[in-house]
Structure 1
Amino acid sequence: MTYYQAYQEGAIHLPKAFLDHFAGLFKNADDFLVWLYFLDNKDIAPSEIAQKINKPLAEVNQSISQLQEIGALKLTFHSNGQDMNFDVSEAFRHLDQLSGQLEGHQQAEEGDNPLSELIQAFEAEMGMITPMQQEEIQALLYEDQYEPETIRLALKEATLNRKTNFNYIKAILKNWRNDGVSASRQELKQEKNAGPEPESADNFFIPLDGPWSH
């Protein structure tokens, strides 16, 4: 799921990527502040924003114009032709392009890179994940430098323990790294644990015609 899709579905929290790509999204902090007010309330009046941030209305209107110019804000009118609606969604689409999420999502559908394959694996176990969760997977892969197969096995371990959350998965990976356990050893362990259970003592058979019967 891309940032834009998450926003459209009402499941967006302002991601860290906004700070990482701030210069590519906004001209200055004042424009970003005005944009945040429209993110919170798309029907808010510019005059109300000016009052809340203690800025002249002319400066707020200038920020609105600049946001429109860079494509971070879209202005539409209601059916009465007077009331305005401010759409901030295009900023999330731009963020997808800057952060590579859009390309990564398209590649995820094709399954042709480690990150996309991991995203598919997590969504198979956890359902649709958010862009912030995608960032966590990306961090495990490229910042913490866990092997894709190790991450996949940690996900499997968490699923077996019915604790499919990122904190638990990260704790598993950290413990494995501290113990110096390889992915191949973990895979063998999981296969062993998933194998047939040994027969219980209740099914142990003692023949009656042995030497102990005399």
Structure 2
Amino acid sequence: MEMKFLINLIESGSISVPSILLDYYNQLGLNEQECMMLIHVHAFLSKGDDFPTFDNLAARMTLDETECAELLRRLIQRGYLSIIQKNDNNIYSEAYSLQPLWEKLLRTSYSQVVESSSKSNDEALYTLFETEFGRPLSPIECETLAMWIDQDRHSPKLIKGALREAVISGKLNFRYIDRILFEWKKNGIKTLDQAKQHGDKIRNHQPRTSTSSHKQQNISEMPSYNWLDK
């Protein structure tokens, strides 16, 4: 008798709960009771029962039928669950759909990945600045760097390009870098290639001084344009 009972349990199968639901339900604004209800609905759907009754759900939860009905109503109103119409050989019926939940989870998961990647890029940018300056950045400098990213919407690559311009020019300070970024933004520059073309154009219009060929070659390799003179 016990063996038959165990075999029935095994043959009843198992339900796979997407780990993404367990990872992000709190961020979606779901509590444990709401999440458990959605898991039970998912279990019924996985076994072919598209529209479990309140009685079916109450039998699995610590809620009565009325409480289950109210909880389902809230989940539908808040966009985690929907009721769809099914047509099977001209026989119409209703069914629960968890598609709204999956869409919310995927959007949340994707935004987390993007945010994490952006955070890593920002941290690498701060580290690069501290390496070039040879010291930790001051609170004002950190605030300026954050402003370039968040308010001015300069890409990390463009900020790195402005930093390199300042390093090569021998004018390593935030005021100089800020001026470079200001001029680039004013001229619609959004990529390093555009910045290089813009810099080359400016330097080509600078008056050339008569020097030896060796010195002229060394000078031509350096961006001698002073952005603060703009």
TM-score range, shorter chain: 0.3 to 0.5
TM-score normalised to the size of structure 2?
0.35
**TM-score, normalised on structure 1?**
0.37
The one of the two structures with greater contact order (alpha-carbon pairs below 8 A, sep at least 6) is: 1
